[in-house]
Chain A
Amino acid sequence: MKKVGNQNSDRVHHNNAFLMNTSLDIILWGIDQETACDVTEKIFNVIKNLQGVLNRFDPLAEVYRVNQNAFEKEMVISPVLMQAVNQGVRDFYQTKGYFNIFAGDVYSSLKSAPGENVNLFATALLPEGLIEINKTDNSIRFLQKSVSLDFGGVGKGLALDGVSSVLDDFNIQNAFISFGGSSVLTKGHHPHGAYWPFSFRDNDVEGEVWPLVDDAVSVSSSKQGSGEVTHIFDPKTGRVETFQMAAVQCKSAAIAEVLSTALIASPQKEHQQIVGNYNVERWELFQER
């Protein structure tokens, strides 16, 4: 844990790590260094554990194993994964199908061959037609071979919601936690202001400050990386919709992530209704200039 700076250096702590394929920055203030170290270690462990469940590319991760086997046989899954799957079903309906955790293979195909004919069968069905969930014994079974769980669009949000619980457990009053600037969680406020003055680093969409107090923000773009590769599609058509970037502010980092992705994926006419299904403080869409 690095103590930062000259003034107030006994109160401002920064640490970072590479987790979930992104740089995670943790900024805490108003606590002693020992507490900051304890909190940071706990945060890293919570995220690593979640990564060990949700990573669909790691053969040791639970989702990878489920994706390999759940069409062939019923699989008992962990409570963490069951909760994420159930929330995925709710999010499917609340986003009118524009956020779909069951269509990992479809998204992979669209990303690898955008514009080409991709079988959208897995996104044409409701969750009940894709997956059988047995809450009695915590088991699931895929009903279609093309079903594949993919938490890539919500994983960091789920992680930050877990981080929020850690911060509460430690009674941390002021924190700014950022997953690469795309998923942000705040507690309390900046030491020299009444809120955290969040803004955007992209000059093209530079706007006013979004004041954050105990808030989360998610920023999603239809394209990613230096190659500007399209990675969010309308799951029903396979096409890219109008807007290039979406930002959503609400109390839950996972909901913010779900919504920012769904708003990019869906046609404009659906936006008000989708957002209306959640408790959102602020949202905005940006066009490429």
Chain B
Amino acid sequence: MQDKYQSRRDFLKKMALTGSMATLAASPWLSVFGQNSMAGQKPSDRVRLAVIGTGGRGKQLMRHLFELKASNNVEIAALCDVYEPHLQEAAKMCSEQDIKPVLYRDYTDLLNKEKVDGVIIATPLHQHAHIAIDCMKVGIDVFCEKSMARTLDSTKAMYDAHIETGKILQIGHQRLFNPVYLEGMNRIHEGDLGQLGQLRAYWHRNNDWRRPVPDETVAMDRFINWRLYKEYSAGLLTELMSHQIQVANWAIQKTPVAVTGTGSIVFWKDGREVNDNVALIYSYDDGTQFIYDSMTSNKKYGLEEQIMGHKGTIEFETNRYYTETPPPAPGIIQMINDMESGFFGKAMIGGASWMPETAATYNGEPIIEDTDFYDTGLQLEGFASYIRAGRAPEALTREGYNASIWTLLGEAAIETGERLTLPEKYII
């Protein structure tokens, strides 16, 4: 990561070189990147952060913070986790970076004792809401991993706390900071794909999704493998699909009006409660559909979001754009024009364009050429910048909220077998 990490400055330079400044203009959450003096190096400019939840994702976010802490004048002031091994592993990582954060086992102690500007919440899903709300209520800005919260009500409560306190609530949808998505979305919104009809997305893996458990107790299994139990997670929906419905909403620039779905435990019948096989259809008021499926017993098709319009298709995960109509060969347009205008002139079409068969078939075109950006790092740079600026673009919070709400409504649609619309009280 050291060699490949590209900061917001590289990112801005790249976007400018590729003529993508329109993309920046269309993405208000990136405007802060354009402010030259945003990361002052004085101690008083330093952004003090705490990381709450230092498991796998929390440690991954910390690695990004290590990369950007100097250039962004960010300090990791405290770490918190209820699980001692994770806390100690994170502390060791910091020690290797000559960072000495204060360690906490209870986040309320952290809030009482530390004066931090922002927290990064990477706990299991069911703990997001109360921690985020408590942080915002004591004046701390929040970066929270997706999905926002475990229930519709707790998701709304998080959003309400953000509105009431005026504190930043940024949800970790890193694709919002990914140049491939930014450029692709700009093309979609400029009409390059024409009228969108269907958006399809899938996330297929072939593993049991279990993490090793230190002992054989049920309690520890539920603690470590929280993603498999409904009390803590909606499984594939909150952990995977929430990313992709955010992409769909972003592409369509709307939120759905209804969802239907089905799900089952078809393969991993090992005591888990969440489905290992789901399929949903989200409908939008303009007639577009977002068709989703996810499973954990086949990985052939992997991960993709396909945005399909009448002029073209974008596949984001593989950075491809496909036109529905490749340019006609020379002379063809002239002949068509002649045919439609009643003119009978010679068609200058014949030419020695014989091409050898090669390995290349039409594989579309890249949306952008250079994809060596770490969107997760960029979104953390954004978080530090928003804290320093005192506010974050509201669009960022709304993207996270709507993705989370509709993910959870998808879960309800699967469980009830009904076509569900969003209750008025959750509409923002």
**A-to-B contact residues, CB < 8 Å:** 2, 4-9, 12, 14-23, 25, 27, 29, 51, 54-58, 111, 151-153, 155-156, 176, 178, 180-184, 190-193, 196-202, 206, 209-210, 217, 219-221, 223-225, 231, 245, 247
Contacts and interface: CB of A to CB of B under 8 A. Distances in A.
Contacts of A51: 361
Nearest to B348: A201
Nearest to B352: A221
B344 A206 contact: no
A51 B337 CA distance: 31
B340 A182 contact: no
Interface stretch (B89-97, B190-198, B324-332): B324-332
8 contacts: A12-B336, A15-B325, A21-B358, A56-B357, A151-B357, A192-B343, A200-B350, A201-B350
A123 B310 CA distance: 49
Contact of A21 (B340, B346, B351, B357): B357
Contacts of A8: 339-340, 342
B301 interface: no
Contact of B342 (A7, A9, A111, A198): A7
B329 A180 contact: yes
Contact of A57 (B332, B346, B354, B359): B359
B345 A4 contact: no
Contact of B326 (A16, A56, A152, A155): A16
B428 interface: no
Given A181-B349, A209-B346, A27 B355 contact: no
Given A18-B362, A199-B346, A180 B325 contact: no
B21 interface: no
A197 B347 contact: yes
Listed from nearest, the 9 A-B pairs whose CB atoms lie closest are A5-B340, A221-B352, A18-B362, A193-B344, A199-B346, A57-B359, A180-B353, A192-B344, A201-B348
B344 A182 contact: no
Contacts of B351: 180-182, 200-202, 219
B26 interface: no
Contact of A219 (B325, B347, B352, B360): B352
Contacts of B356: 21, 111, 152, 224, 231
Contact of A14 (B328, B331, B361): B328
Given A198-B349, A199-B350, A201-B348, A23 B326 contact: yes
Interface in B346-403: 346-362
B2 interface: no
B354 A176 contact: no
B357 A5 contact: no
- Residue of B347, B357, B358 contacting most chain A CB atoms (<10 Å): B357
Given A16-B325, A197-B344, A201-B330, A178 B349 contact: yes
Contacts of B112: none
B337 A5 contact: yes
A6 B346 contact: no
Contacts of A231: 354, 356
B341 interface: yes
Nearest to B322: A18
Given A201-B330, A221-B354, A192 B361 contact: no
Nearest to B327: A23
A196 B347 contact: yes
Nearest to B343: A192
A182 B354 contact: yes
Contacts of B339: 4-5, 8, 12, 27, 29, 190-192
B12 interface: no
Contacts of B354: 153, 156, 180, 182-183, 219-221, 224, 231
Given A7-B341, A7-B342, A199-B347, A22 B336 contact: no
Given A18-B326, A199-B348, A201-B330, A5 B336 contact: yes
B224 interface: no
A6 B362 CA distance: 31
Contact of A25 (B329, B346, B352): B329
B335 interface: yes
B340 A6 contact: yes
Given A192-B342, A197-B345, A181 B331 contact: yes
A138 B354 CA distance: 31
A180 B347 contact: no
Contacts of A5: 336-337, 339-341
Given A5-B339, A9-B340, A219-B351, 7 more contacts: A8-B339, A21-B355, A23-B327, A27-B335, A192-B344, A219-B350, A219-B352
Contacts of B359: 57-58
A12 B360 CA distance: 31
Contacts of B331: 181, 201
A187 to B, nearest CB: 14
A20 B354 CA distance: 10
A206 to B, nearest CB: 7
Contacts of B350: 181-182, 184, 198-201, 210, 217, 219, 247
B209 to A, nearest CB: 31
A200 B348 contact: yes
A220 B351 CA distance: 8
B74 to A, nearest CB: 48
A155 B355 CA distance: 11
Interface in B86-120: none
Contact of B352 (A4, A17, A193, A224): A224
A55 B341 CA distance: 40
A54 B339 CA distance: 35
Contacts of B335: 27, 176
A267 to B, nearest CB: 20
- Residue of B326, B340, B352, B359 contacting most chain A CB atoms (<10 Å): B352
Contacts of B360: 21
Nearest to B364: A18
